[in-house]
A and B are shown apart, each in its own frame.
Chain A
């Protein structure tokens, strides 16, 4: 349903290359999984394959059902309908303590009354692993998460980041088939979050275990995951690589949820294999596309345009009659006036008012130290974007 080719992908769209350690072997399979709490449908008919070795992200706003999906995988909830297969085996009858998956909880859930090493050893003890082996594997796991030597500490003597590492070590020491992470970075401060992001990625490559992460933070998902699934109101909206998710969203929800976007409603006027045209009343000009759109003529569509893909040029006061012929080939141009400027250091965000009153966001990198002085408030500008930049969305 969601892996279907993206309708507005140009013919030369890059095909996502899987990371080298990803094997083509579905380790986890959701088959028509539905979960209802009373009348509320938390997860609605989800079918999804997750390959061995992937770092998979379940992305969505709070209450979209992503955590419920993860908890069904861990065994804390049972699906109302459908099947969940781990390694090809239906796990419906297995309680959480019998499943080959382990979880890192949002609160980390480190046992407060046990030493760090006892925390990490707990799962092995439950499995009846013998003492010497436990000690060896605990030391190894603590070394892996860079907590070597802290085994004798109590959890309340650790920082939040260190507690999370304990939770990671405690789950990884059991060598699960799949590691589940519930909002792993949400409780960390910004600096630590960046560091933990890259550490999670390298950790996953090192241990080669399939990681599944739940997050509401699109930056986090794009930065870490090899593949993301966007969920909205219990339904999987799109499953794609981070790049495809951002550049080729399949719906207004995905385009809006992942990253920042300018969205214009329009009517599809022309649709050829190699070009198309959408009439957008708000823009005051038609949008030209250098690729075809698989939609009926006259259908209502939405044009999604990322702010960083819009270029800004100086415009003489009052000159609005720029004709398409004057513009560089394959480029869309509309006039506007700068109304708002937000200086962010590395880049500046501008809000431009079009002639119809609609406002458009655009970002501009400050490539030199004087770039920020180029434009000022109430300055007339041309906005231009390439015909391949906008995504046309049918839903």
Chain B
């Protein structure tokens, strides 16, 4: 302890805590009611997801008691050939759905932004229809459509056999792309277009050199949206999928009907991670976009 020669230091108690000023009337985050609501919201939202992910590492066939850590279920899931095939199907469908949706959505957005024509409101409204119509109705509609009106030929080689599902996915994904791109277009300065033409650019060059670069963040955000929507979709896919065109969500559902093994947890965790990563990239793009708008 202290040397003898040193004068005894005056007794110092615990350092007093800085007296915190009372929360101001508008500092809701420092008042308990809002804090309780925030915590409760987070718990209800994320507790199930975290449980699902945690139990995918559980060394037990049952999902109830924690037995120990293992990654066996992931190995098992990746060795499950039909599950893997379903995952590849899902990615393939999402890939083609994204490309077609972005092209269709961007063209629809440009048309609605650029031109006035009779029935424009009608077109605008009907574009939003796939967003608002209950998915189950859309699913049944697709089932009837592909059964009666335009039957998709059976027994086509991969990936052509996924055509029907891809078309169904495009039909509900491209309005989302159109909405995002349309919002982006509303901040476009028409003088940029006129400036390009004034400098000698044709209509086509103006579109590529000025309008497309402006739409780019919207196109990327729309593409990610279309990709995740297609990857996650269950209801519509369930009605359009044939026996040899199972997608990942549909496969997980069918596995669930027999038994709830951590293998399903592992597969779901993979899907969640893929979706979260893509959404994060999308949000980041939107962030950059709004920063650019502020500048």
Indicate whether A97 sits within 8 Å of B191 (C-beta atoms), given known contacts A122-B196, A156-B295.
no
- Interfacial residues of chain B within 266-295, with CB under 8 A of chain A in the complex: 292, 295
**A74 — which chain B residues lie within 8 A by C-beta?**
194, 198
Instruction: Of the listed stretches A104-112, A135-143, A207-215, name the one at the interface; the rest are far from the partner chain.
Output: A104-112
A69 to B199, CA, bound (A): 19
Q: In the assembled complex, which residues on chain A have CB atoms less than 8 Å from the CB atom of B213?
A: 111, 113
Which residues of the other chain, A, contact B295 by a CB distance below 8 angstroms? 156
A97 touches B197 (CB 8 A): yes
Q: Are A170 and B189 neighbours in the complex by a CB distance under 8 Å?
A: no
Shortest Cβ distance from A382 into chain B, in angstroms? 54
Query: Do B202 and A97 touch across chains, with their CB atoms under 8 A apart?
Result: yes
A18 at the interface (CB under 8 A from B): no
B195 touches A103 (CB 8 A): yes
- Answer whether residue A174 sits at the interface, using C-beta atoms and an 8 A cutoff: yes
Whether the pair A109, B189 counts as a contact (CB closer than 8 A) is: yes
What is the 8 Å Cβ interface bit string for chain B, positions 202-216, against chain A (1 contact, 0 not)? 100100011001100
The 0/1 profile, CB within 8 Å of B marked 1, for residues 87-114 of chain A is 0000000011110011101110101110
Q: Contact between B199 and A174 (Cβ–Cβ < 8 Å)? A: yes
Residues in A neighbouring B201, C-beta threshold 8 A: 97, 122, 126
Question: Which of A96, A111, A123 contacts B194 (CB under 8 A)?
Answer: A96
A102 and B191 CA atoms in complex are apart in Å by 13
CB-nearest residue of chain B relative to A127? B200
Query: How near does chain A come to B190, taking the closest CB pair, in angstroms?
Result: 9
CB of B132, distance to nearest CB on chain A (Å):
35
The residue on A at minimum CB distance from B195 is: A109
B200 in complex: contacting residue of A103, A109, A123, CB < 8 Å? A123
For residue B198, which residues in chain A have a CB less than 8 angstroms away from its CB? 74-75, 96-97, 101-103, 171
User: In the complex, which of the residues B191, B199, B202, B210 contacts A123, with contact meaning CB atoms closer than 8 Å?
Assistant: B199
B192 at the interface (CB under 8 A from A): yes
In the assembled complex, the Cα of A171 lies from the Cα of B213 at a distance in Å of 21
CB distance from B185 to the nearest CB of A (A): 15
Question: A113-B213, A126-B205 given as contacts; is B199 within 8 A of A97 (CB)?
Answer: yes
Residues of B in contact, count (CB < 8 Å): 19
CB–CB A107/B191 < 8 A:
yes
Q: Let me know if A105 and B195 touch, CB within 8 A.
A: yes
B220 to chain A, nearest CB (A): 14
Contact status A105-B191, CB under 8 Å:
yes
Interchain CA distance A75-B199 in the complex, whole Å: 12
Q: With A and B bound together, what is the CA distance between A109 and B195 in angstroms?
A: 6
Nearest CB in chain B to that of A102: its residue: B198
Could you tell me if A170 and B194 are in contact, using CB atoms closer than 8 angstroms? no
Residues on B with beta carbons closer than 8 Å to the beta carbon of A98: 200
Residue in chain B with minimal CB distance to A126: B200
With a cutoff of 8 Å between Cβ atoms, the chain A residues found around residue B214 in the complex are 112-113
CB distance from B205 to the nearest CB of A (A): 7
A170 lies within 8 A of B191 (CB): no
Among B195, B199, B201, B210, chain A packs the most CB atoms within 10 A around the CB of: B199
Whole-angstrom distance between the Cβ of A184 and the nearest chain B Cβ: 13
How far apart sit A230 and B91, CA to CA, in the bound complex (Å)?
65
CA distance A111 to B210 in the complex (A): 7
Would A174 and B200 be within 8 Å (CB), given that A107-B189, A109-B189, A126-B205 are in contact? yes
- Which residues of B, 57-92, contact A by the 8 Å Cβ criterion? none
Cβ-defined partner of A95 (8 Å) among B191, B197, B210, B292 = B197
> A76 at the A/B interface (Cβ < 8 Å)?
yes
A31–chain B nearest beta-carbon distance, Å = 23
Least CB distance, B28 to chain A, in whole angstroms: 36
> In the complex the two chains form, what is the Cα distance from A331 to B196 in whole Å?
59
Closest B residue by C-beta to A121? B199
**How long is the Cα–Cα vector from A122 to B292 in the complex, in angstroms?**
22
CB distance from A49 to the nearest CB of B (A): 23
* Complex CA–CA separation, A273 to B84 (angstroms): 105
CB of B164, distance to nearest CB on chain A (Å): 39
Question: Which chain B residue shows the least CB distance to A103?
Answer: B198
- Alpha-carbon separation in the docked complex, A75 to B194 (Å): 10
Sampled A-B contacts (14; CB under 8 Å): A74-B194, A74-B198, A75-B197, A95-B197, A97-B198, A98-B200, A103-B198, A109-B192, A112-B292, A113-B214, A122-B209, A156-B292, A170-B195, A174-B200
Binding site for A on B (CB under 8 A): 189, 191-192, 194-202, 205, 209-210, 213-214, 292, 295
Instruction: State the A residues within 8 Å of B (CB).
Output: 74-76, 95-98, 101-103, 105-107, 109, 111-113, 122-123, 126-127, 156, 167, 170-171, 174
Other A-B pairs, 10, CB within 8 Å; known A111-B196, A112-B292, A156-B295:
A76-B194, A97-B199, A97-B201, A102-B199, A103-B198, A109-B192, A126-B201, A127-B200, A167-B195, A174-B199
